[in-house]
Amino acid sequence: MIKPIEGYSKLSKEQKIDWLTNNYTSDPEAAKALLKRYWNTAKDVQQLHDEFIENTVTNYYLPLGIAPNFLINERLYAIPMAIEESSVVAAASKAAKFWLDKGGFKTEILGTEKIGQVHFMYRGNKDHLSAFFEKVKPKLLSDTSSITKNMEKRGGGINSIELRDKTNALDNYYQLHCTFETLDAMGANFINSCLEQFAKTFKVEAQSYSLFTEEEKAIEIVMSILSNYVPNCLVRAEVSCPVTKLKEGNTEASKEFAEKMVQAVNIAKVEPHRAVTHNKGIMNGVDAVVLATGNDFRAVEAGIHAYAAKDGSYSSLTHATIENGVFKFWIELPMALGTIGGLTSLHPLVKLAMEILGNPSAKELMQLVAVAGLAQNFAAVRSLVTTGIQEGHMKMHLLNILNQLGATEDEKNTLTHHFKKHSATHSAIVDAFEKLRRTK
């Protein structure tokens, strides 16, 4: 039986690997060799990766692909995407090309407000608490001046601090609900540092507030943390064109396609089972760019899904209409991104991805990410309402299946050629592979 280990994080990397492979793998030597095969040969790069997290034993690679030809606000972008799913980059590229000669993508920032909260319990007179809050508010701000100084110099900082009574939802529960402008930083460290200082000041000042009874002084701070739900840090991206341009030279087919696209989006608006998959397709694009640019995709995911449910039922993040013969397709997404700090200045590939994107500001990056989400959704829904998803998907997945089957380069070439003209289901690929082997 494997025993728990004390002080694993203090072991050397080699020792960690020895312990891990000896205890948890059937062939420790093979496992060790595999882990080391993924080490970077450049020592400085490997050290960087070792130090990103605790207990690093190797690197976990994802492909970094490029989706070119994105015309966004009249400027042409090649978008880097880090993702493992075979069809995503191909779908993004296809959507980019589709809209290239139809005016491209138009985007707009609708807000940049970030949010953080100090959650606390207070048992006492509500008027006393409100009066205390008004009195202490200037001190909350002045006590954070060393934290906010640099951010303020750049034009950001704390926007507001509000006392919120949440006792209808939970006995004795209140919050300081605070908003921030963090410019090109995602802002997590800045916001959390401000909040923890607010909490400290709030608690200390309560001790000497003359209107408070002894019980009221005992404010209980539960936690201070930013919110990844940022509905006012919002970006919009849109494509539109006359319906007749959707399928060049075929007005009837164009009309039918536009109507089906609108129907598909409307289904995702009212049916949560479909909405989740519809939005998953959007996140294929969003996450891939967020990851490639070194941002926190878990934060972005959590916030966007909350936004999809903001009206009480989980719904589509994209919208589509046909008005006066014009097809319009758009998305609104909340997200807190950074283009300075965090991984953005550390990871060499992130730096390169940023350069490829023209070293965007956080606002610009929000727009590029929203476009990637919209393009991805357009490509997916377009396939769904026309050929079905499997045709394109399986063609892209073909190489994965052939690699699983152990196909040689020659076999891969032959079968890739074969499936340009044939329907590529999993069993058809296996059959064709076996047949090819038999004929050798």
Q: Which residues are catalytic?
A: 85, 280, 296, 393
381 contributes a contact to ligand MEV by CB under 6 A: yes
Shortest Cβ distance from residue 380 to ligand MEV (Å)?
4
Shortest Cβ distance from residue 281 to ligand MEV (Å)?
3
Output 164 or 273, the one with its CB closest to ligand MEV.
273
263 contributes a contact to ligand MEV by CB under 6 A: no
Would you say 140 and 158 are in contact if contact means Cβ atoms under 8 Å apart?
no
Output 85 or 301, the one with its CB closest to ligand MEV.
85
Residue from 269, 278, 347, 382 touching ligand MEV (CB under 6 A): that is 278
Q: Please identify the residue of the shown chain whose CB is closest to the bound ligand MEV.
A: 281
Shortest Cβ distance from residue 377 to ligand MEV (Å)?
7
Output 370 or 407, the one with its CB closest to ligand MEV.
370
Shortest Cβ distance from residue 349 to ligand MEV (Å)?
23
Q: How many residues bind ligand MEV (CB under 6 A)?
A: 10
Output 221 or 389, the one with its CB closest to ligand MEV.
389
218 contributes a contact to ligand MEV by CB under 6 A: no
SS (H, E, C) the chain: CCCCCCCHHHCCHHHHHHHHHHHHCCCHHHHHHHHHHCCCCCHHHHHHHHHHCCCCCCCCCCCEEEEEEEEECCEEEEEEEECCCCCHHHHHHHHHHHHHCCCCEEEEECCCCEEEEEEEECCCCHHHHHHHHHHHHHHHHHHCHHHHHHHHHCCCEEEEEEEEECCCCCCCEEEEEEEEECCCECCHHHHHHHHHHHHHHHHHHHHCCCCCCHHHHCCEEEEEEEECCCCCCEEEEEEEEEHHHCCCCCHHHHHHHHHHHHHHHHHHHHCHHHHHHHHHHHHHHHHHHHHHCCCCHHHHHHHHHHHHCCCCCCCCCEEEEEECCEEEEEEEEECCCCCECHHHHCCHHHHHHHHHCCCCCHHHHHHHHHHHHHHHHHHHHHHHHCCCHHHHHHHHHHHHHHHHHCCCHHHHHHHHHHCCCCCCCHHHHHHHHHHHHHCC
Q: According to CB under 6 A, which residues from 361 to 380 bind ligand MEV?
A: 380
Distance CA 331, CA 234 (A): 10
Within a 13 Å sphere around the CA of 412, how many CA atoms are in the beta-carbon half? 14
Kindly indicate which of the ranges 198-206, 274-282, 350-358, 406-414 contains the residues binding ligand MEV, using the contact rule CB under 6 A: 274-282
Output 389 or 399, the one with its CB closest to ligand MEV.
389
Which H/E stretch holds residue 393? helix 389-405
Kindly indicate which of the ranges 43-51, 255-263, 272-280, 365-373 contains the residues binding ligand MEV, using the contact rule CB under 6 A: 272-280
Would you say 225 and 193 are in contact if contact means Cβ atoms under 8 Å apart?
no
What is the x/- site pattern for ligand MEV, positions 384-413, by CB under 6 A? x----x------------------------
Q: According to CB under 6 A, which residues from 58 to 87 bind ligand MEV?
A: 85
16 contributes a contact to ligand MEV by CB under 6 A: no
Shortest Cβ distance from residue 389 to ligand MEV (Å)?
5
Which distant-in-sequence residues (6+ apart) come within 8 Å of 11 by Cβ?
A: 19
Shortest Cβ distance from residue 374 to ligand MEV (Å)?
12
Residue from 80, 281, 334, 360 touching ligand MEV (CB under 6 A): that is 281
What is the x/- site pattern for ligand MEV, positions 84-103, by CB under 6 A? -x------------------
Output 174 or 329, the one with its CB closest to ligand MEV.
329
Kindly indicate which of the ranges 24-32, 68-76, 108-116, 280-288 contains the residues binding ligand MEV, using the contact rule CB under 6 A: 280-288
Output 18 or 85, the one with its CB closest to ligand MEV.
85
Residue from 284, 316, 339, 344 touching ligand MEV (CB under 6 A): that is 284
277 contributes a contact to ligand MEV by CB under 6 A: yes
Q: Which chain residues interact with ligand MEV by CB under 6 A?
A: 85, 277-278, 280-281, 284, 380-381, 384, 389
